[in-house]
Structures are given as structure tokens and as C-alpha cells.
């Protein structure tokens, strides 16, 4: 008998997972969404085997459940439906923060195995019509198990990540994941919006160059999603930003005080670090590196 | 009789200017450099008509003099050689800050016309061996005249900028130029090095994505050059950085205090500004936009 894989939330990531998971082992794919047009589209395009508007009915059948809602939606869904997951089922999510999700998963009964997940891919679009079967090709898939996670579940997630084309699967703690994300991704988004808050933004239109575009590209972000991602990772992100503010302040003080020697030393140290990083990246082969945020063809990403 | 165009400093920009200015009106190109190998290379590669190690001899002949040294070197050269410029000659420079250069040009006698210039191009390389005849194609050329600048000199600079392929020539004050540069370019470099100063840089190697790479790309900068550029624009850059620190601090406080409504409002405002900017850029045709920092083929730039 076929097993059932339930995808709750057929947006960009849920839809892409459905497409990418076609033919994975012996799973039948059931898509759940609150939007009837989305469910209809998923059936018409043969993205799912079955469309289901009622999560309770879908969960009763689900062997493996993917929660692909917005961050807060995932937490609320687990709370509301904690008694609707089939005993013995395995539950995972795709959220870009993990500590808050693992905390939320604490409501699940012992009969359910939960593994937090973050397939690091996305595009600047949203919605199932932009879903891509190759969305996860070359991406990192980070897993953050908790004490309810079963070894079978982790093994399944590894096979699944390979099947959808991920370059690697990394197990880590939620804290480590959230610190990485705070620094490498969320901080870049705070920088981008902070630069665009400058009153001069439009005055100098046309004089911005590659460094300006590279730095501000991600400022055109999905506001509700990033409001949730930032606030659900407040501790790690707050720490990273405090460090950044201090680093910028040190450069500013060296510049304003005319401390050329100090400024030169700081620039030498930092540029040497960046060159070392470039060398490490070049020599590592960088498989999957380009997929971390899921940018494709240089498009603006809004990784979550 | 041919006129003489003297290029002082045959580095990346001086060498590229020499190449790009070949055949410009009736000028003979004389290259001046302290390095004998550089002068030899310039002659062997037919980059200049004549090579001259002694600036005094070259200046005595120069109708138009381009100062293509490092920022502080330009100021020092004008002071040292203020009485060596031929009466009636026109002098310009290529420095990425303009207030300090115009102040330095105050030492020049009234018999010399000075126009500050910033052809906005460059690559991550330095040295005449990386000079490119098409370095300035599509670039902005900013001119900052002072009260010694003659109308003929400005008209000549306009023709010259068109000849080397610039997309446009913009006249502005030194203050305006330095404020633009502080915000659109120098601040991006301070952000890049500040991010690379984070102790986590190497811990999370391999998990950085497009936004991280886009933001930190320019951190591998030319230290002596940028030490001078930053410190010679301390006032405007200091102001821009204070604004940035305040903008980041506001996001951090909204995030740390759990002020979701305030955070959401701020993100909505900034992302709308960025989208508006993207639309303006898309509809403007963006001639020359890609040349502001002189990046070619996505190479790391070190615009000066």
C-alpha cells in the first residue's frame, strides 16, 4: 500500500516540494491549502495526487507531513492540530528559523516524530504558479532534530533531500542554525533595508554602482514573512546586529578622528579575511554554494 | 603644432586614459611615472607617445595635465610642482574624492585652470598592465570645477569624456560629489569590511548565500587607496555612517523589543522604496549605470 506524504501549504516552497518529490519512493502526495484556486491549480497541473481542503482529514492519513506555511502559521498549525496527526507519523517543516519552530513542536504528542528542516532555497516570487521542480538542486538542507525525532525519520529526510537534488544534508542544533542564518542571511536583509532608509536614496538615483546594488538587492523583501523571520530569531539576530553596529562604529571613529594608522590596520585585517574566504571558497569546489538562498539566474531572492 | 597631454601616474586609470585618449584631437600623449619598468612598458606597448621620468620637464610642455596618482599623491604633487605647470595649461585629476583635491588645488597659480574630475570606472586590478582602452565606456564622468576653471577647459573635458566613451558628463560641486560617493560607494565598502570583521566569518563558511556575497564582495579592497579615500572624505562619510548606524539600531530595537507592528511598518516602507527604485532604474534605460564602479563581467571592483 502506498504511503501518504501530506504537504500543508502549497505556496512557492510547498508547491516546489510537491513537484520535486514526484516519484519519491512509494509516496502518494496530498496537498492541503486554504485556497480553492490553489488546490484546483495543483490538481490541474498534476502537482499533487490529491488536493484536500480539510487538514484534519489529510493529517489522519499522513505518514509524512511537511508544514510549508509562513513561520507563525507553522507554530499555530501544530498547536491547533496537535491531536490530528496520525500516531506514528513523521512531521517536518521548511521554516527559515528553527528555535521557535522546535519550541512550537513541543505541543506534539509523543506518538509523532518531529524533525525541523530548512531546505535553503527560494526565489523572489511566491505562490504555487512559481513553484519549480528543480528549486532545491544544489541547495543545503539543514535538519534540526529534537528529542522526539526518530532515527528512521532522520534517515527518511536524508533520502528525501538527496532525491530533490540537495547538495548536502547538515544536522545541527536549532541554536546553531539560527545563529548562522542571523549572520549570513538575516543581517544582510537588515543592512539592505537600512541603506534604503537613507533620505538620500532617490537623490542619488543613477549613481549607484555594483556594490550598492549588491548590498541593497534583497531590500525588496516579503514584509509579513520577514517580519516573522526576524522577530522569531530576535536573540541571535539582535546579537549579530549589535556586533555589526560596533564594527561600523569603530570604522567611523577611526575615519572621523583621522586615525589613519588604525583605519589602515583595520582595513588590512578585514580585507585579508575576505581574501582568505575567497580562496577557501575557490578551493572548496563550492558545490551547492550558489543554492543557499536559491537565487537562480541572478534573480532577487527572498529566501525564507 | 601638436598639443601635449601629460598623464602623471601610469597606473590602471592613467594607463587606461592613455589608451582611451589615443587619437583625441591633436594631442601628443606624454606619460610620467616614477617607475622605469612602467615607462618602458608604456613605450613598448605604444600606450604613450613619449615617456618621461622627470615631471618638471613634462609639465613645462603640458597643455593638458591629468593627475592619476593616489589621492594623497595628487595633493602632494600639486604642492610640490605648483610652479612647474606651464602658464595657460589645464589641469585635472581622477580622484574618487573631490573636496580635498579642490582644496589642494588652491596652491596652483592663477595662470593654471583646474577642473576636478572623477571618471567613475575601475577594476579590482591595479597597474598599467591591466589598463583597458574601453575602461570608461558607459561610465559617468563627474566634473567639479572651481573658480580657477576656464570655460574652454570645461568644454575640453566634455569632448574628452565623450571621446573615451563615457555615457554622460555631470557637473557638480565637490560637496555634492563627496556626499554621493560617501553614500553610494564608500558606505558599501565600510559595510563589507564591517561584516567581514564578525568573529563568525569563517565558522559559517559555505553557508553564505547571494546576499552575503553581494554585500561583502568589495571587502577585498586596496588598503592604502581606501584608507586615503575614506579619510579624505571623513565628514560626508562620517555623516552617512551615523545615519546607517541609527537605521540599523532602529531595526534592532524593533526586533529585540518584539515590536512586530513597528518592524512591519519599517520593512514595508523600506521595501517599497527599493521597489520604486528598481522601477525607476528599469524605466530609465540605465545607460551607463553598470559602469559607475567600472565592474566588468561581474569582476570585483575597487573603484576609486
- ipTM of this predicted structure: 0.87
Q: Name the least confident of A126-130, B100-104, B286-290.
A: B286-290
Q: Which residue has the cell 547538515?
A: A170
Q: What is the predicted pLDDT for the residue at A301?
A: 34
Confidence class for position B285, pLDDT limits 50, 70, 90: low
Which chain A residues touch B249 with a CB distance below 8 Å? 245
Number of C-beta neighbours around residue A199 at 10 A: 8
What is the rounded average pLDDT of the residues B63-89? 97
Whether A94 is in a domain gets the answer yes
| Contact (Cβ atoms closer than 8 angstroms) between residue B113 and residue B288 | no
Does position A18 have pLDDT exceeding 70, yes or no?
yes
Interface test with A, best of B121, B210, B257, B290 (most A CBs within 10 A): B210
What are A209-264's pLDDT values in tens digits? Answer: 788 999 999 999 999 999 999 999 999 999 999 999 999 999 999 999 999 999 99
Chain A contacts of B200, Cβ < 8 Å? 179-180, 183, 240
Tell me: do B132 and B229 sit in the same domain: no
Q: Going along chain A, which residue ranges are E strands? A: 3-8, 27-32, 50-52, 64-67, 90-93, 113-119, 140-145, 168-171
| DSSP letter (8 states) at residue B182 | I
Is B168 found in the same domain as B181? no
Nearest neighbour of B211 by CB, restricted to A218, A263, A290: A218
- Contact state of A197 with B269 under an 8 Å Cβ cutoff: yes
Q: Which residue of A has its CA nearest to B218?
A: A211
Window 221-240 of B, Cβ < 8 Å to A: 221, 223-224, 226-227, 230-231, 234, 237-238, 240
Q: Is residue A113 part of a domain?
A: yes
Q: Flag if B201 and A289 touch (Cβ within 8 Å).
A: no
Neighbours of A276 (CB within 10 A): 15
Q: How far apart are CA B304 and CA B302, in angstroms?
A: 6
Exposure class string for A88-121: b at 16+ Cβ within 10 A, else e? ebbbbbbbbbbbbbbebbeebeeebbbbbbbbbb
Could you tell me the CA-to-CA distances from B139 to B133, B135, B136, B217 in Å, in that order?
A: 13, 8, 5, 21
SS3 content of chain B, % helix, strand, coil (to 5): 50, 15, 35
Please give the Cα distance from A201 to A219 (Å, whole number): 12
Q: Is residue B302 part of a domain?
A: no
pLDDT of residue B303: 41
* Domain match, A182 and A165 both: no
Whether B82 shows a pLDDT value over 50: the answer reads: yes
Same domain, B19 and B130: yes
Which alpha helices (DSSP H) does chain B contain, by range? 12-20, 36-44, 55-61, 71-80, 99-104, 151-163, 174-181, 187-196, 210-216, 223-231, 234-256, 260-283
Is A300 part of any domain? no
User: Are residue B62 and residue B194 in the same domain, yes or no?
Assistant: no
* B118-136 pLDDT tens trace: 999 887 778 999 999 999 9
Answer yes or no: do B9 and B117 share one domain. Answer: yes
Write out residues 236-265 of B within 8 Å (CB-CB) of A. 237-238, 240-245, 247-249, 251-252, 255-256, 258, 260, 263-264
Q: Is the pLDDT of residue B44 over 80?
A: yes
Give me the mean pLDDT over the B170-190 stretch.
96
The residues with which B7 forms a beta bridge, in sequence order, are: B31, B66
* Angle at the Cα of B259 from the Cα atoms of B258 and B264, rounded to 5 degrees: 120
Domain count within chain B: 2
In a domain, A289, yes or no: no
The answer on pLDDT for B302 being more than 90 is no
Asked if B289 and A206 come within 8 Å (Cβ–Cβ), the reply is yes
Q: Which of B172, B192, B216 is the last residue of a domain?
A: B172
Mark whether A159 and A250 lie in a shared domain: no
Do A105 and A218 reside in the same domain of the chain?
A: no
Average pLDDT, chain B: 91
Picking from B249, B185, B183, the residue whose alpha carbon sits closest to that of residue B217 is: B185
B183:A204 CB<8 A: yes
Tell which of A151, A172, A193 closes a domain.
A172
Check whether residue A112 and residue A242 sit in a common domain: no
Whether the per-residue pLDDT at B301 is higher than 80: the answer is no
Is B217 part of the contact surface with chain A (CB cutoff 8 Å)? Answer: yes
CA pair distance B6, B48, nearest whole angstrom: 10
Judged by CB atoms closer than 8 Å, whether chains meet at B252 and A242 is answered as: yes
B279 touches chain A (CB under 8 A): no
**A277 within domain boundaries:** yes
Structural contact between residues A197 and B270, judged by C-beta atoms closer than 8 angstroms: yes
For β-strands B140-145 and A90-93, DSSP reports them as unpaired
A14 and A95 Cβ atoms separated by less than 8 Å: no
Where does a domain end: B172, B195, B212?
A: B172
pLDDT at A285: 54
The answer to whether residue B192 sits within a structural domain is: yes
The residue whose grid cell reads 596652491 is B107
Both B7 and B141 in one domain: the answer is yes
Same-domain pairing of B31 and B103: yes
Range of the domain at A38: 3-172
Instruction: Give backbone dihedrals phi and psi of B174, rounded to 5 degrees, phi first.
Output: -60, -40
Q: Which of A260, A25, A79 is nearest to B228 (CA)?
A: A260
Q: Are B14 and B68 in contact (CB under 8 A)?
A: yes
**For residue range A269-304, what is the model confidence (pLDDT) as tens digits?**
999 999 999 998 888 754 433 333 333 333 333 344
Answer whether A184's CB lies under 8 Å from A238's CB: no
Residues in Cβ contact with B248 at an 8 Å cutoff, skipping those fewer than 6 apart: A190, A191, A194, A241, A244, A245, A248
- Please indicate, yes or no, whether residues B181 and B150 belong to a single structural domain of this protein: no
Q: Residue A295 has what pLDDT? A: 35
- Hey, of A241, A255, A287, A289, which one would you mutate to test binding to chain B, going by the most B CBs within 10 A of its CB? A255
Here the CATH number for the domain that contains residue B95 is 3.40.50.720
Contact B251 A290 (CB under 8 A): no
Nearest CB among A210, A240, A275 relative to B295 is that of A210
**Lowest mean pLDDT across A30-44, A136-150, A176-190:** A136-150
As a whole number of Å, the end-to-end CA separation of chain B is: 35
Nearest-CA distance from A110 to chain B in Å? 31
Residue from A71, A96, A252, A297 to probe the interface with B (highest B Cβ count within 10 Å):
A252
Q: What is the mean pLDDT of residues A155-180?
A: 96
How many Cβ atoms from other residues are within 10 Å of residue A73's Cβ? Answer: 16
Q: What is the pLDDT of residue B65?
A: 98
Q: What is the CATH number of the domain that holds A197?
A: 1.10.3660.10
A110 in any annotated domain: yes
Amino acid at each position: 500500500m502506498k504511503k501518504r506524504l501530506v504537504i500543508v501549504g502549497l505556496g512557492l516552497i510547498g508547491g516546489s516540494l510537491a513537484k520535486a518529490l514526484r516519484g519519491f519512493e512509494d509516496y502518494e502526495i496530498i496537498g492541503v491549502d486554504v485556497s480553492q484556486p490553489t488546490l484546483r491549480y495543483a490538481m490541474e497541473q498534476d502537482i499533487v495526487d490529491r488536493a484536500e481542503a480539510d487538514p484534519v482529514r489529510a493529517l489522519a492519513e499522513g505518514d509524512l507531513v511537511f508544514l510549508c506555511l509562513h513561520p507563525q502559521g507553522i507554530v499555530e498549525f501544530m498547536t491547533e492540530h496537535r491531536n490530528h496527526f496520525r500516531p506514528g507519523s513523521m512531521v517536518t517543516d521548511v521554516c527559515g528559523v528553527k528555535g521557535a519552530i522546535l519550541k512550537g513542536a513541543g505541543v506534539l504528542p509523543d506518538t509523532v516524530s518531529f524533525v525541523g528542516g530548512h531546505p535553503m532555497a527560494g526565489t523572489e516570487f511566491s505562490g504555487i504558479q512559481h513553484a519549480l521542480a528543480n528549486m532545491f538542486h544544489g541547495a543545503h538542507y539543514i535538519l534540526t532534530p529534537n528529542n522526539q525525532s526518530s532515527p528512521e525519520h532522520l534517515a527518511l529526510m536524508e533520502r528525501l533531500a538527496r532525491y530533490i537534488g540537495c547538495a548536502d544534508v547538515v544536522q545541527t542544533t536549532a541554536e546553531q542554525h539560527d545563529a548562522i542564518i542571523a549572520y549570513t542571511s538575516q543581517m544582510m536583509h537588515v543592512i539592505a533595508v537600512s541603506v534604503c532608509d537613507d533620505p538620500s536614496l532617490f537623490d542619488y538615483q543613477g549613481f549607484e554602482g555594483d556594490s550598492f546594488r549588491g548590498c541593497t538587492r534583497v531590500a525588496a523583501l516579503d514584509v509579513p514573512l520577514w517580519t516573522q523571520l526576524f522577530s522569531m530569531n530576535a536573540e541571535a539576530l539582535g546579537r549579530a546586529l549589535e556586533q555589526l553596529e560596533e564594527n561600523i562604529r569603530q570604522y567611523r571613529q577611526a575615519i572621523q578622528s583621522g586615525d589613519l594608522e588604525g583605519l589602515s590596520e583595520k582595513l588590512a585585517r578585514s580585507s585579508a579575511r575576505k581574501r582568505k574566504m575567497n580562496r577557501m571558497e575557490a578551493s572548496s569546489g563550492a558545490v551547492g554554494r550558489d543554492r543557499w538562498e536559491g537565487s537562480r539566474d541572478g534573480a532577487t531572492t527572498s529566501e525564507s
